[in-house]
A and B are shown apart, each in its own frame.
Chain A
Amino acid sequence: MNPLLQVTDLQTHFFTRDGVAKAVDGVSFTLEKGQVLGLVGESGSGKSVTGFSILGLVDPPGRITGGQILFDGTDLVAGGEPALRHLRGKRIAMIFQDPMMTLNPVLRIDTQMVETVRAHEDVSHAEALRRAREALVQVGISPPDERLKSYPHQFSGGMRQRVAIAIALLHKPDLIIADEPTTALDVTIQAQILSELQTLCATSGTALIWITHDLAVVSGLADRLAVMYAGRIIEEGPTAEVIARPRHPYTRGLIDSVPRGKRHGAMLTQIKGMTPSLLKLPKGCKFMPRCPRADRVCEAEPSLVPLTSERSVRCFHPHDDAEEVLQP
């Protein structure tokens, strides 16, 4: 069976006055039906641009310059706008970080939801409204009839994000791309959204790409993790494997940087330096200047090498498989 989504050697570059920023530089991954992929990286790693590229949402001066995005057999890069128009909001939906930016502030929720339904399906207004109500119930908004008649500003942050999720669910998409949807929310609300999305994906068989900077949030949710750095995937594998035995020094550094209580008050292990500018990337391995294991070999560019059938890592000196960072 073909995978639901197959991204091969994706290149998304931004042509700025100061030079070409290769925000996404050769990203490849596949996603099966119903799978949850965590796309993890710090700011500027290209994780969001990867998500935007799939839906063709990259604005000038950015442009997809190469690669292939196969969604259920259709190439979205070659197909361009006409191919995407049928898929956006219908088979692929996106949830953004800030729901205040995605919801139209001057339209009521029902107007926006009915519009979404009728954009793809020729149904009556009443039927569209019924579907909108159903979606609101599904994400736990009550009372749905009253809330349908509200404007976005009348909702709290968590509620707005639920409305955005409800809109994403209207057409029962095959794939949801969620770009840091809980970053702006409080922990208790974040837990609610996580638990809801988890149930929804499990019951409807929707695949999910969860884009985040927070490894801990995604570790309890994703089947697979892909860690990005400077526009590339540097490590990929099943979540449990990547978290328990990270092979790339950067992944290990990320996990060590998160305060985890056991070493209360002590110094955290830190990654030295900072993320390089995309306009001035170092030669060879992009992580080399910050890497504790780097040597002369790293002046050449490493490629993403499969370690097992499930895992791959982009490093000349990966950590040993036997070293466990976390005790399960």
Chain B
Amino acid sequence: MTEDCILKIDGVTKRFSNDLDIAERTARKLGAKIEPVTVHAVDGITLDVRKGEVLGLVGESGCGKSTLGRMVAGLTPPTDGRILYKGQNVAELKGTAARDAALRIQMIFQDPMSSLNPRLQVRDIIGEAPRVHGIVGRREMAGYVEDILAQVGLDPSTGKRYPHQFSGGQRARVGIARALAVKPDFLVCDESVAALDVSIQAQVLNLFVKLRQDFDLTYMFVSHDLGVVEHISDRIAVMYLGRLVELGDAEDLIARPNHPYTQALVSQIPTFETGKKTYQAIKGEIPSPMNPPPGCHFHPRCPFAHDRCRSEVPVLKQVAAGRMSACHLNDSAA
């Protein structure tokens, strides 16, 4: 199991806190009880990503899934814990080794309109990173960019255009081409199909499946859309308020969700109905991560919550082969 683990997320935590402004600092010196507000965006997550798999990361807004994705891609350092890429702690690498590791893991963003430089031609957007990092020489550049454009299903002659001259689906492809240009083997896709129309979304999802085979890629697929994640992933990790609540084989997890939150999510995947459906809503809202409830974060909304859930944080433990879940109910059942 350990040898095919490409990325190990080990007890990673990310806290954001606001800096006090001058008035607040002064007030504090004078004895006022003002503390900086801290948000636990990601709260001690441990997770292995196997080589060649697609790991889906789902959760609702504010659950920390994007923050985790950004930490994996090296865009923001974790406050605590380690991220090991092929056994090496990314944060401790120096010089060339650090640069190489950073190039191996690339990120594809949700909105290509804000992640692509509007004033650069697409061939420069794609070609800049490989040129700077010496992956391709200046002379081979034109051919290299054309190759990548063809790989993602764009006409190679479109390289001279600017991002605004593409449709939404094509821009998503440019974003993918940009990430592929530095020959990564791990892609973090953050809501990469969320903004697309259904028919275009299918095209881009198919492209992800094809590229995975062509380039032997590993994906971490971050999305709020359980239907999409179920389709593309081998394994699914479900997050709620910064914590991992369930992890398992994609098909099995959807078919037999263990955690009450996963059960609720699965029941709410919109499906095609040929009769009227009565929507069963989970009560309540997602609590603010600034002030999470004690014990199990889900207990105020959980239909099965009991006393223990209100005080003790459930640990993520194995409940079946290849399935982890963080719920006290698993103990009482046993």
Contacts from A to B (Cβ < 8 Å) = 42-43, 156-159, 186-192, 194-196, 198, 213-217, 219-221, 239-240, 243-244, 253-261, 263-271, 274-275, 326, 328
Q: How far is the CA of A265 from the CA of B169 in the complex (A)?
A: 21
Contacts from B to A (Cβ < 8 Å) = 60-61, 167-170, 197-203, 205-206, 209-210, 224, 226-228, 230-232, 234, 250-251, 254, 264-265, 268-283, 285-286
Closest residue of chain A to B264, judged by CB? A188
CB distance from A21 to the nearest CB of B (A): 16
Supposing A264-B250, A264-B251 touch, asked if A270 and B202 sit within 8 A by C-beta, the answer is yes
Q: How far is the CA of A328 from the CA of B61 in the complex (A)?
A: 33
CB distance from A135 to the nearest CB of B (A): 19
Do A191 and B282 touch across chains, with their CB atoms under 8 A apart? yes
- Our pick among B203, B209, B227, B283 for the contact of A260 (Cβ within 8 Å) is B227
Q: How far is the CA of A159 from the CA of B60 in the complex (A)?
A: 15
Supposing A219-B273, A240-B275, A253-B199 touch, asked if A158 and B206 sit within 8 A by C-beta, the answer is no
| Chain A neighbourhood of B271, CB < 8 A | 216, 219-220, 260
Do B206 and A216 touch across chains, with their CB atoms under 8 A apart? no
- Our pick among A214, A239, A265 for the contact of B198 (Cβ within 8 Å) is A214
Supposing A258-B198, A269-B202, A270-B202 touch, asked if A187 and B265 sit within 8 A by C-beta, the answer is yes
CB distance from B95 to the nearest CB of A (A): 39
Do B281 and A215 touch across chains, with their CB atoms under 8 A apart? no
Q: Which 7 A-B pairs have the closest CB atoms?
A: A220-B277, A259-B231, A257-B202, A195-B279, A216-B270, A192-B281, A186-B60
Closest residue of chain B to A328, judged by CB? B274
B227, B231, B232, most chain A CB atoms within 10 A: B231
- Our pick among B198, B264, B278 for the contact of A215 (Cβ within 8 Å) is B198
Q: How far is the CA of A258 from the CA of B200 in the complex (A)?
A: 10
A and B contact pairs by CB, cutoff 8 A, 28 listed: A42-B199, A158-B285, A186-B61, A187-B224, A188-B264, A188-B265, A192-B281, A198-B278, A216-B271, A219-B272, A219-B273, A220-B271, A243-B274, A254-B198, A254-B199, A257-B198, A257-B202, A258-B202, A259-B227, A259-B232, A261-B227, A261-B230, A264-B230, A269-B202, A270-B202, A274-B200, A326-B274, A328-B274
Do B274 and A268 touch across chains, with their CB atoms under 8 A apart? no
Do A239 and B286 touch across chains, with their CB atoms under 8 A apart? no
Given pairs A220-B273, A243-B273, A263-B231, 11 additional interface contacts (CB within 8 A): A43-B168, A156-B285, A188-B282, A213-B198, A219-B273, A221-B277, A243-B272, A258-B198, A271-B202, A271-B203, A274-B199
Q: How far is the CA of A191 from the CA of B268 in the complex (A)?
A: 6
Q: How far is the CA of A37 from the CA of B2 in the complex (A)?
A: 54
Closest residue of chain B to A240, judged by CB? B274
- Our pick among B169, B270, B279 for the contact of A214 (Cβ within 8 Å) is B270
Do A270 and B272 touch across chains, with their CB atoms under 8 A apart? no
| Chain B neighbourhood of A275, CB < 8 A | 197, 199
- Our pick among A217, A239, A270, A274 for the contact of B274 (Cβ within 8 Å) is A239
CB distance from B232 to the nearest CB of A (A): 7
A186, A196, A263, most chain B CB atoms within 10 A: A186
Closest residue of chain B to A196, judged by CB? B281
| Chain B neighbourhood of A266, CB < 8 A | 209
Closest residue of chain A to B210, judged by CB? A267
